[in-house]
Chain A
Amino acid sequence: KQEVTQIPAALSVPEGENLVLNCSFTDSAIYNLQWFRQDPGKGLTSLLLIQSSQREQTSGRLNASLDKSSGRSTLYIAASQPGDSATYLCAVKGVGSNYQLIWGAGTKLIIKP
């Protein structure tokens, strides 16, 4: 059974730093992996989707990588800003999952001004 883990559960860094958020999964048979952002009390916003055949995706200051063989994905945020403060969640879609995603619990990121 696929399990998705995000460590640490919370992270606090000074503004301007580059940082990496981690997502690990136990079954490498995946279709894709997605990263989402959630602001407090709000819904989720899709940030990046990486297909199983891809190694990375970039959007602005965000770069997501995927290493299926090791069961890991990282979300790299460059030059962090206070507006990046949010909870970041990753979700994996397994082969044959019929539209089901398996979610990590998220990493709560705080960027200190």
Chain B
Amino acid sequence: DGGITQSPKYLFRKEGQNVTLSCEQNLNHDAMYWYRQDPGQGLRLIYYSQIVNDFQKGDIAEGYSVSREKKESFPLTVTSAQKNPTAFYLCASSTLARVQGANVLTFGAGSRLTVL
């Protein structure tokens, strides 16, 4: 079945460590996204990518980095510069619709990061 796989589901990080969250999709989608979800808030966009080897910052990119070396993969690194990284992280993908706005997002199951 086609879908998005995020790993790990749970991750614990010590202060000062970088951690990388994996996101893999087999939907042949061109666009991929990383969102952060905090309790009582809407999802906030961290980074997105529309094509291999290209990505753009979202609203809260500081302290995060991404790469898009393959169409199927869009890993997110949470660096030690991110001061409050404890959150639920969601990866999503979509087609690049010819009519802008028609692209429905497909989400992974999420990764919960906790800083110890």
Instruction: Decide if B42 touches A44 in the complex (CB within 8 Å).
Output: no
Compute how far the CA of A93 lies from the CA of B104 in the bound complex, rounded to whole angstroms. Answer: 11
Instruction: Please name 17 pairs of A and B residues whose Cβ atoms are closer than 8 Å in the assembled complex, sorted by A.
Output: A9-B40, A32-B102, A34-B104, A36-B107, A41-B112, A43-B4, A43-B109, A44-B92, A46-B105, A49-B102, A51-B101, A93-B101, A99-B50, A101-B45, A101-B105, A103-B44, A106-B42
Of B58, B106, B109, the contact of A42 (CB 8 Å cutoff): B109
- Residue numbers of B with Cβ under 8 A of A are 4, 6, 31, 33, 40-45, 48, 50, 56, 58-59, 88, 90, 92, 94, 100-110, 112
Instruction: Decide if B110 touches A42 in the complex (CB within 8 Å).
Output: yes
Q: How many residues of A contact B (CB 8 A)?
A: 27
Compute how far the CA of A100 lies from the CA of B58 in the bound complex, rounded to whole angstroms. Answer: 8
For the residues of A in contact with B, the DSSP-based class is: strand
- Tell me, rounded to whole Å, the shortest Cβ–Cβ distance linking B89 to chain A: 10
Residue among B6, B31, B33, B100 with max Cβ neighbours from chain A (10 Å): B100
Compute how far the CA of A101 lies from the CA of B45 in the bound complex, rounded to whole angstroms. Answer: 8
- Tell me, rounded to whole Å, the shortest Cβ–Cβ distance linking A60 to chain B: 17
Compute how far the CA of A101 lies from the CA of B48 in the bound complex, rounded to whole angstroms. Answer: 11
Contact with B along A24-55 (1 / 0, CB 8 A): 00000001101010000111111001011000
Instruction: Decide if A100 touches B107 in the complex (CB within 8 Å).
Output: no
Compute how far the CA of A51 lies from the CA of B100 in the bound complex, rounded to whole angstroms. Answer: 10
Assess whether A4 is interfacial by the CB under 8 Å rule.
yes
